Amino acid sequence: MKETGKKIYDFKSDVLFKYSLADDKDYDCRYLLKLFIEGILNIQCQDIKVLNPDLSRDHVEDKDMILDIRVTVASGEQIDIEMQNSSFSVSRRHRFQLYGAKMLTYQEKKGNKYQFINPVYQIIFINDIDSDNLQLYDTYQSRNKEGKLEKNNLMNRVYVQVPYINVIKQYKELDEFSELELAIYIFANGITDDIMKLKESKVIGIMKDKMERFNQDDELRLAAYNRELNIYAHEMELEENYQNGKAEGKKEGIEEGMEIGKEEGILLEKRNLTLQLFKSKFPNEDDNFLSNLEVKEYDIIFKMLLESQSLEKIKDAIKR
């Protein structure tokens, strides 16, 4: 076996992620599964069974292999949990929806009555933030024009927008984080020095131990490393094809962002985030009063919006 000194410290590695969750006979894996399922979906876990616990070293290097964790609980719900160290794209959104639909069709067997099909849930940890939905948990279900949930709805999807935890960190100390928030913070940033100062956290101890045990398995660690290389090479190939084809439509704002100075860039980012959050909270209100503020003022307003303070209080804060 080829050796490599490369160790995996990032839980956004889907191999390390699956290793940490897939063994339902392991107490620490069950603890993490229960933490995510109960905390994100509000589904009680009297019993947890992982349907695909295997982590095959022979196939894990395949860049197209989906290393998700499929779970059932005592109440019958089926839950899929996966890590995506990538950004949102049309193809990925389509894949997520198709996979959710497959979870339903897997339950369909000849002669079965449809009323016995169990609801399916997806928890997708993704290394991106949808600028139109600035929140840690972005939830999707089937609803009508009035926003009413479809009766007997079977499909539920939650995007956990991992980088958003760092927005929360700006206004909340780590020792005030819940165990679930700490786990997501580790997904975003790794096991940092400030994390290790929190001696009382159970989830930190579990995730640190999982990471260390994973890196002791040279064969699995090498497979994870090769998988990262294969994915990176594939992405570079797609980028090269894109450039050679002279494709149009680069992401708006990249060139503009490179031209403006550092201070202006920070101000622009703060303003955009604040305006987007304001629109989500007060969709029918005029936001012109937020157009020309300083960085500190945007920080204050953003925090007030996160705390769901009233429009009157927000406007009063600017007048001071």
Q: What is the pLDDT of residues 145-170, one digit of tens each?
A: 998 999 999 999 999 999 999 999 99
> How does residue 2 score in pLDDT terms, banded at 50, 70 and 90?
very low
Q: 100, 142 in Cβ contact below 8 A?
A: no
Taking only the tens place, the pLDDT of each residue in 197-246 is 998 899 999 999 999 999 998 888 887 777 777 666 655 655 556 556 64
Task: Assess whether pLDDT exceeds 80 at residue 248.
Answer: no
Distance in angstroms between the alpha carbons of the first and the last residue of the chain = 66
Can you give the pLDDT at residue 65?
A: 67
Across the range 15-44, mean pLDDT stands at 94
> How does residue 263 score in pLDDT terms, banded at 50, 70 and 90?
low
Residue 14 has, within 13 A of its CA and on its CB side, a CA count of 25
Task: Report, in angstroms and rounded to the nearest whole number, the Rg of the chain calculated over CA atoms.
Answer: 22
Task: Assess whether pLDDT exceeds 70 at residue 183.
Answer: yes
> How does residue 299 score in pLDDT terms, banded at 50, 70 and 90?
confident
Q: How far apart are CA 75 and CA 194, in angstroms?
A: 38
Partners of 124 in the β-ladder: 82, 159
| Eight-class DSSP state of 133 | S
> How does residue 265 score in pLDDT terms, banded at 50, 70 and 90?
low
In single-letter form, the type of residue at position 307 comes to: E
Question: Is the model more confident about 284 or about 63?
Answer: 284
Domain definitions of the chain by residue range? 14-232, 254-319
Task: Assess whether pLDDT exceeds 60 at residue 58.
Answer: yes
Can you give the pLDDT at residue 284?
A: 79
Strands 78-84 and 120-126: parallel
Query: By percentage, how much of the chain surpasses pLDDT 90?
Result: 47
Can you give the pLDDT at residue 167?
A: 93
Can you give the pLDDT at residue 254?
A: 46
> If we measure between CA atoms, which residue out of 205, 219, 228 comes closest to residue 20?
205
Q: How far apart are CA 91 and CA 101, in angstroms?
A: 15
Q: How far apart are CA 35 and CA 3, in angstroms?
A: 35
Q: 126, 91 in Cβ contact below 8 A?
A: no
To the nearest whole number, what is the mean pLDDT of the chain?
83
Query: Which 3 state secondary structure label does DSSP give 35?
Result: helix
Across the range 102-107, mean pLDDT stands at 87
Can you give the pLDDT at residue 267?
A: 72
Residue in the structure block whose two tokens are 């497959």: 102
Can you give the pLDDT at residue 150?
A: 92
Partners of 159 in the β-ladder: 124, 138
Q: 69, 80 in Cβ contact below 8 A?
A: yes
Question: Is the model more confident about 89 or about 307?
Answer: 89
Task: Assess whether pLDDT exceeds 50 at residue 251.
Answer: no
Residue 115 to residues 112, 183, 282, 312, Cα–Cα distance (Å): 9, 36, 40, 49
